Amino acid sequence: MTGRIGLDRVGAVAVITVDNTRIKNALTQQMARDLGAVCEEIDADASIGCTVIQGAGGTFCSGADTSTWAETYGDDPLSDEAYADTDEMYGSFVRFGELKAPTIAAVRGAAVGAGLNLALAADLRVAADDARLLAGFLAAGIHPGGGFFTLVRRLAGREAAATLGLFSQEVSGREAKGFGLVGVCVPDEDTEKTALEIAQHVARDPLVARRAKRSFNLETQSTPLPWAAALEVERGVQLWTQARRLRHQREQA
Ligand SMILES: C/C=C/C(=O)SCCNC(=O)CCNC(=O)[C@H](O)C(C)(C)COP(=O)(O)OP(=O)(O)OC[C@H]1O[C@@H](n2cnc3c(N)ncnc32)[C@H](O)[C@@H]1OP(=O)(O)O
């Protein structure tokens, strides 16, 4: 069995590396399980204030490892095992999306199918200008999965969901930035460095980063909150962090 999920620390930043370079970082079931496990590890460490996910060798991720499908499910593609494996694969992305601290996907090369889903599960995408974002499901003869339409629509609207999911158009990192699916666009060789710099910035105070992500989720994962309601949600936490900052300043004076 090839492929691994790497976990490294750079100061207060956790760096997850999807590493299965022979097949463009396609994800095996074991890698999906390992992704879930490293997320548990990251959440348990309160000193981590941001997580970057990246691919090894200049590719982000080519989706699920389809090379084993025929052998594993050939006799019964609707088996309990097939259902469970799909749940496990996408479940690990949901787990990644639920990380308590903010997350950044550093996208170089291809992000295809479930690999694009994984990039979309992050809070921010830093992509290479020439990164290749492609749903790829229809080309592989399967229906989009893992909440693909929901994720794209939430991030970039209906037109983007249609372009990528319904019409399977491949878009570059630069094009995706144009319609809001990608937050930051840089030359290929700067992608991971830029993602790490942004991560280090947000991770300077892990506790504040984690609390900010909770409010961010409340706002962005539900139907839009009326502005006044958002003020209600954020007021208490913001006051608390202001008080905490003042306390630190007093302690240092
Ligand atoms: C539940 C989840 C569902 C899904 O995720 S459905 C979508 C599944 N993904 C795909 O269908 C993507 C298929 N791959 C590609 O389109 C291309 O690859 C890329 C755009 C990612 C990269 O293209 P290039 O740079 O030209 O590389 P290359 O020569 O096509 O690939 C190198 C080797 O990697 C294997 N490979 C690529 N993607 C996968 C994959 N997803 N699962 C298993 N193997 C994969 C290839 O076959 C080949 O192998 P060899 O050198 O033996 O010919």
Task: Parse the chain into domains and list their residue ranges.
Answer: 4-202, 206-252
Lining residues, ligand 1, CB within 6 Å: 23-24, 26, 62-67, 86, 89, 110, 112-114, 136-137, 140, 142, 145
**Pocket probe mutation, ligand 1, options 112, 130, 132, 171, max atoms within 8 Å of Cβ:** 112
What is the DSSP-derived secondary structure letter of residue 173? Answer: H
Structure tokens at 241: 């962090």
Global pTM value: 0.94
Q: Which atom of ligand 1 is nearest to the CA of 66?
A: 42
Question: What mean pLDDT do residues 68-95 have?
Answer: 88
* Nearest Cα to Cα of residue 213 among 223, 224, 225, 203: 203
Q: CB-side exposure of 18: number of CA atoms within 13 Å?
A: 39
Secondary structure element (H or E) that encloses residue 251, with its range: helix 227-252
Q: CB-side exposure of 140: number of CA atoms within 13 Å?
A: 19
Q: Which atom of ligand 1 is nearest to the CA of 65?
A: 42
List, in order, residues 6 or more apart from 228 with CB less than 8 Å away.
none
Question: Are the C-beta atoms of 95 and 42 separated by less than 8 Å?
Answer: no
Ligand 1 atom 15, closest CA: 62
- Report how far ligand 1's centroid is from the alpha carbon of 3 (Å): 14
* Nearest Cα to Cα of residue 62 among 21, 18, 113, 3: 113
Question: What mean pLDDT do residues 155-168 have?
Answer: 94
List, in order, residues 6 or more apart from 126 with CB less than 8 Å away.
104, 105, 106, 107, 182, 183, 184, 185, 186, 191, 194, 195, 198
Q: Which atom of ligand 1 is nearest to the CA of 90?
A: 1
Question: What mean pLDDT do residues 93-102 have?
Answer: 96
Decide: helix, strand or coil at residue 55.
Answer: strand
> Of 171 and 136, which is predicted with more confidence?
171
Each residue's pLDDT tens digit, 191-212? 999 999 999 999 999 999 999 9
What is the DSSP-derived secondary structure letter of residue 174? Answer: H
Q: Is 227's pLDDT higher than 80?
A: no
When the pLDDT of each residue in the chain is averaged and rounded to a whole number, the result is 93
What's the pLDDT band for 1 if we cut at 50, 70, 90? low
**Pocket probe mutation, ligand 1, options 18, 23, 69, max atoms within 8 Å of Cβ:** 23
Each residue's pLDDT tens digit, 144-154? 889 899 899 98
Q: Could you tell me which CATH class the domain 4-202 is placed in? A: alpha beta
Q: Is 220's pLDDT higher than 90?
A: no
Each residue's pLDDT tens digit, 21-75? 999 999 999 999 999 999 999 999 999 999 999 999 999 999 999 999 888 888 7
Least confident residue range of 45-59, 134-148, 174-188 = 134-148
